[in-house]
Structure 1
Amino acid sequence: MSFKVFVDGQEGTTGLRINEYLAARSDVEVLRIDADKRKDAAERARLLNAADVAFLCLPDAASREAAAMISNPKTCLIDASTAHRTVPGWAFGLPELAAGQRDKIRAAKRIANPGCHASAFILALRPLVDAGLLGAEALVSATSITGYSGGGKAMIAQYEAGGDQKLKSPRPYALGLAHKHLPEMMAHTGLRNAPVFMPIVGDFYKGLAVTVPLHLSQLRAGTTPEQVREALAAHYAGERFIRVMPLRDAETLAEGFFDVQACNDTNRVDLFVFGSETQILVIARLDNLGKGASGAAVQAMNVHLGLDEGLGL
């Protein structure tokens, strides 16, 4: 059986990567919009309603407008923007989130693709909240370092033009403490307080790692680094795209530095716990264009359509 798929916003970074994933598949017919009609609302509406699955790779306002164009009840929308990630009636497109999440994605006709930083943060902390190790009222912080591709075409062009010395060093941003991923980071971990979150863009194309530092005293009394790692392993047992690495990963410690780019060109997430007698670091690593964006969207499509989850990934 062939499924009709339309990518609205096919020229953006996420849309281009989704098309790359789909290009090698024989079970998908990709509907194309003529270049001169990309802003033609009627033509976009026609293609959106002709599709079994439509990916929205658009700014938030444009995604809301596109969602309103849908009149075909059979069209499944997968929105890669921030617009619908905490909106009732939209399934969160992270199959590994919790038991039953795949059923929600399979049944939904509206799926919100997670943000890259949010995916890593949620995957790192949701198991600890669910296991009762980390209380919902906990005050946590997180740092994310990411490649410049996450900034879209303008930032990619800025970095790849070269010559600007300030781009050579890591650049913290979102210093107003109101990053757009915060609502979903709270909603899908169960945390009641927004984390103090500082993302950093580096001079490399892609790859992302979110680090959450915790004092063991913040966790349930008596919690050890071993128990934190065990909670992650239990939560993700059998998940093909998530690897829970050994406690105090020997290879990382031997090298002395963490490789942010080691999941690039995969749909994989690697989870690490480094700990002492009083503190831990929980780190989640992924490809910000793969599991952090386009790969996650294709994975959600596969789940929704009842296909092998890793098809094309």
Structure 2
Amino acid sequence: MLNVSQATEAPVLSFSTERVATTRQLDAWKQVVVDLHGQMCFEGATTNGYRGTLAARRSDAIQLVEFNAAPTASSRSKKQAGSDAICRYELVLVTSGEFELQHCGHRIRLQRGDGALIDMSRPHQMLYGQPLSATLIACDRTLLDAKLPGVTHACGVGFPRDSATLAALLGYADTVRANLDRWQAHEFQCVMAHLVDLAALMLDGQNDLGGAYPATQAALLHRLKQFIHAHLSDDDLTLPHVAAANGISTRYMQKIFQVAGTSPREYLLEARLLLARTLLRQRPLRHSVSSIAYMAGFGSASYFSAAYKRRFGLAARDDAKERCQINSKS
């Protein structure tokens, strides 16, 4: 079903539903997509078959997928996002057609030349009533989080169409895609790293700034986020402490985060939960859930458990058990 090209050190995975019996085409498409992107649900007729092709290549923590798909609807529920081991961002760039994306409280329509960022640890839904072609750039969330702390707040928001950086990103991604099976492994790793850097540059103009956010406030917001991430494991870290350490009042700090579409309290909680989830999945057998909670800066294990289940759709203990099962099978 999957064809692996051995022309380079890092193989390209290619798939076409035309190689599958008509009655099994949609199911086969679902399986390939799930293997690449995590658990999802699909809607579409199976009696008349399903047309879809894709090519994918991965380098370390970065993956590029090019796909052409017939009309359908796909969704990733909160439970699905919480139960598998997918913890990354996916940047979708539309090359032809259009689709509707519902994600992180936003509902947008994307057309050719548009792009959006998806947090795969959160639920989302994609609906396209016509054939769609797109390029997906997926990277482990640690890569973008390190470059742009708080980038998750840009998820589900369409990128400005007049962005010169978006135009550069689209052109560069098109070049990489067109030569997917020609890059040597070290070349592909390098160009994919450049793609992520371009994406970070574009998101830096999109995330938090909104086109009207003063540069001084943007710099202050970035510094505040960096300080929070540097002290996440401190259970005595308080918002007044964060504000005082950066020479501003708590009230002004609230205003800075409010313009970015969140609050200091929400941002701190989200950062700690993501750190806890990373620790939990990296070390499912080495530490108890309570220990993980304290390592992520939570002073109360019960509060952590409730917040974790509310955020990811399953209990932290169950998440650890599922990760152990995945590790034992791999």
> Taking structure 1 as the reference length, what is the TM-score of the superposition?
0.30
* Bigger relative contact order, structure 1 or 2 (CA pairs below 8 A, ≥6 apart): 1
Whichever of the two has the greater Rg, that structure is 2
